[in-house]
Amino acid sequence: MISDAIETTQCQQKDPVDLFHSGHFVKICAPMVRYSKLAFRTLVRKYSCDLCYTPMIIAADFVKSVKARDSEFTTSKGDRPLIVQFAANEAQVLSDAARIVCPFADGIDLNCGCPQRIHDDLKRTVDLCRKAEATGVSWITVHGRNVEERHQPVHYDAIKIIKQNMSIPIVANGDVKTLKDAENIHHMTGTDGVMVARGLLANPAMFAGYEETPLKCIQDWVDIALEHGTPFTCFHHHLMYMMERITSKQEKRVFNVLSSTSAVLDYLNDHYGV
């Protein structure tokens, strides 16, 4: 909650742009509604994630209601560098929301991506990015699909062209599942960082080079989630994602219908010694 966070997190602002100038490829946890909350951010930071985004927050609600602020935004001392993502269609509202959250964040992101991403006519995307650059944005993340594409391959060639036409850092997003994928995309597109959503849900340790979720990471999630008082549904959903690749269909049938924290803890202890 912002009110609890005031004393611990104010005045530690870091400029996340420095990360892009440090010469290494920046590894970023994407904004994910319901998922990229404080507990999950704490977990991925333990496994080499350089920068985290909050889930998308509706700026108008955030400005209007203390209740919305306290339920939508929680942070802690170690939760930096942090980018807060807002959805807004009025500049004043976005600015007001940014002003409220700014002591606890290192940057503000405006969600421009749902549902349009790259345009079929790439020149229009490059123009849009240039306009954004001219307004002073620090970097742009590009998801390499257009509005009709859901499961088709990501257009990394388009991301490369955007990167070549811009001076500010460009972050590539889409279908990165392993650290190797991230490195390949870096080489393919020349971008300055990679943002990952589903790959991190499935394996929060992927940026540290793990090909699948290590048991230690599951143990860490249990510890962090319980420490943060994570609601059961969120606690359980994250485990379902993390265990997707390492459990059989039969195990999933049992695990996915568990309905209490104690049942989950017993299952993990019996099957994995976690």
Decide: helix, strand or coil at residue 170.
Answer: strand
Do residues 123 and 152 make contact, with C-beta atoms less than 8 angstroms apart?
Answer: no
The correct pick among 29, 30, 258, 264 for binding ligand FMN (CB under 6 A) is: 30
The correct pick among 29, 56, 170, 171 for binding ligand FMN (CB under 6 A) is: 56
Give me the phi and psi of 173, to 5 degrees please: -140, 140
Decide: helix, strand or coil at residue 16.
Answer: coil
Residue holding tokens 């994250």?
238
The correct pick among 37, 80, 143, 163 for binding ligand FMN (CB under 6 A) is: 143
**Looking only at residues 159 through 188 of this chain, which bind ligand FMN when binding is defined by CB under 6 A?**
173-176
Q: Does 199 bind ligand FMN (CB under 6 A)?
A: yes
Residue holding tokens 């388009």?
158
Binding mask 224-253 for ligand FMN (x = CB under 6 A): ------------------------------
Decide: helix, strand or coil at residue 22.
Answer: coil
Do residues 111 and 141 make contact, with C-beta atoms less than 8 angstroms apart?
Answer: no
Sign, Cα dihedral of 253, 254, 258, 261 = negative
Best CA proximity match to 54, nearest among 18, 5, 92, 127: 5
**Binding window for ligand FMN (CB under 6 A); candidates: 30-38, 72-80, 94-102, 240-248:** 30-38
Q: Which of 11, 102, 114, 129 is catalytic?
A: 114
In the residue annotation, 102 being an active-site residue is answered as no
**Looking only at residues 102 through 131 of this chain, which bind ligand FMN when binding is defined by CB under 6 A?**
111, 113
**Binding window for ligand FMN (CB under 6 A); candidates: 13-21, 26-34, 155-163, 209-217:** 26-34
Token couple for 196: 């990952």
As a whole number of angstroms, the distance between CA 237 and CA 203 comes to: 13
**Binding window for ligand FMN (CB under 6 A); candidates: 29-37, 157-165, 210-218, 244-252:** 29-37
Give whichever of 30 and 129 is closer to ligand FMN, judged by the CB atom.
30
Q: Does 217 bind ligand FMN (CB under 6 A)?
A: no
Positions annotated as catalytic residues are 114
